[in-house]
Amino acid sequence: MSLLELDDVKVHFPVKRGILFDRTVGHVYAVDGVSLSVTAGQTYGLVGESGCGKTTLGRAVLRLTDITSGSVVFDGTDLAQLPEEEMRRARRRLQMVFQDPLGSLNPRQNIESILAEGMAAHGIGADRAERRERIKEILTKVGLPHSALSRYPHEFSGGQRQRIGIARALVLQPDVIICDEPVSALDVSIQAQVINLLEELQESEGLTYLVIAHDLAVVRHISDVIGVMYLGSLVEEAPSDALYAEPRHPYTRALMSAVPVPDPEVEDRRERILLRGDLPSPASPPAGCRFHTRCPWRQPTRCDTERPALADIGGGHRVACHWAAEIADGSLRPTSELAPPVLVDTGTDGEPGTDPGAGEDTDPGTERKETAAGTPA
């Protein structure tokens, strides 16, 4: 049963210019038509490189940024249509954990005040004593000592601060928690602790997560379903295992190939797809498929004219690519002369970004994929 359902959500920021009076000269298409659904009790992982709009999408769900169009249906109500005050009340059930644990805590508030604030705003707990009891309970749950109550955020370590952030969300007994890069600001050793805490809490509190991250390993570990975002829209969505086993979209393939394998033999041999160029500006996204400017599998037709829709290819796997089937069965190779120069690195020569074809020596054991323009395989 889906608890949170996004339908064609768009968030466009107007670009304004003017000396005395601003006028709109264009839009940044931060989120441009995202539809997804999050099942109750599950974790939906949203990945993508920075600037792809995943954070904006997370904030749009809570209406922390205005939604341009589309609907965000939570438990039967469309949040996008709620008046301000009702939206404020609805936020009790939808909470957020932020990326920067220190920045998201007011430096002038002690922990008790931080944790009590949400309760006061929603009228939970009759008096200070009752709230304090509840806060102590939550502190135990997230693994912080009760002595933390009278202390201030800057006195804690990064991991502890993030626990405070989680406690702040938890105190309101929400149904959904949106975790915006919950561990990317933490040390690797602390990351695991926080991830485990999130998982334990999901089990004991029956929480539903929407986890936004760029770390594929983290997302894989925690998610049931993963959505891959590129330039404001979803390019692929699949159950976690299926996505990692068989990425279908060229962008997802490139992302996956960036994850190092902890085996030097495999690591040396495996195919790596290095994307050329930067993310295009979301203020003037490319026509057709958003990814065609960087896609190694780009074809002469359709790609630059027709925007592919997310199509179900079975097993809950959805992919937005015209040529997904052909790429999957191997009849298309990443070598089209229309494609931008791309380096399929064999791991033995060249730094990322060196010209394709530079470095003539290749290991005899590895297959070299020639990718220079005009050299079809």
Partner 1 sequence: MSTKTAKIDRLAELTAQRESAGGASLWTEALRRLRSSKMAIIGAVVIGVFVLLAIVGPWIAPYNPLQQWRGEVFINQNIFVGSRSENWLGLDHLGRDQLSRMLVGARQTLLVGVVATLLGFTVGALIGGLSGAALAFGGKTGQRIDTAVMRFIDMVLALPSLLLAVSIAAIMGQSLTTVMIAVGVVQIPVFARLLRGSMLAQAGSDYVLAARSLGVRRRRIVTAHVLPNSLGPVIVQATLALATAIIEAAALSYLGLGNPDAAQPEWGVMLVQAQPYFDHAPMMALYPALGIIITALGFTLLGEAMREALDPKLRS
Residues in contact with partner 1 by the rule CB under 8 A: 20-21, 59, 62, 64, 88-92, 95-96, 98-100, 103-108, 110, 117-118, 121-122, 147, 150-152, 154-155, 165, 168, 172
CB of 95 to partner 1, least distance (A): 7
CB of 117 to partner 1, least distance (A): 6
Nearer to partner 1, 27 or 151 (CB): 151
- Relative to beta strand 23-39, strand 2-17 is antiparallel
Nearer to partner 1, 20 or 129 (CB): 20
Nearer to partner 1, 105 or 343 (CB): 105
CB atoms within 10 A of CB 236: 27
- Relative to beta strand 69-74, strand 77-78 is antiparallel
Nearer to partner 1, 83 or 300 (CB): 83
Return phi, psi of residue 353, to 5°: 100, -10
User: Across-strand partners of 225?
Assistant: 44, 239
CB of 314 to partner 1, least distance (A): 37
Nearer to partner 1, 90 or 325 (CB): 90
CB of 154 to partner 1, least distance (A): 6
CB of 51 to partner 1, least distance (A): 18
CB of 156 to partner 1, least distance (A): 10
Return phi, psi of residue 13, to 5°: -95, 125
What are the structure tokens assigned to 216, written together?
Answer: 């594929």
Specify the amino acid at residue 153.
P
Nearer to partner 1, 95 or 252 (CB): 95
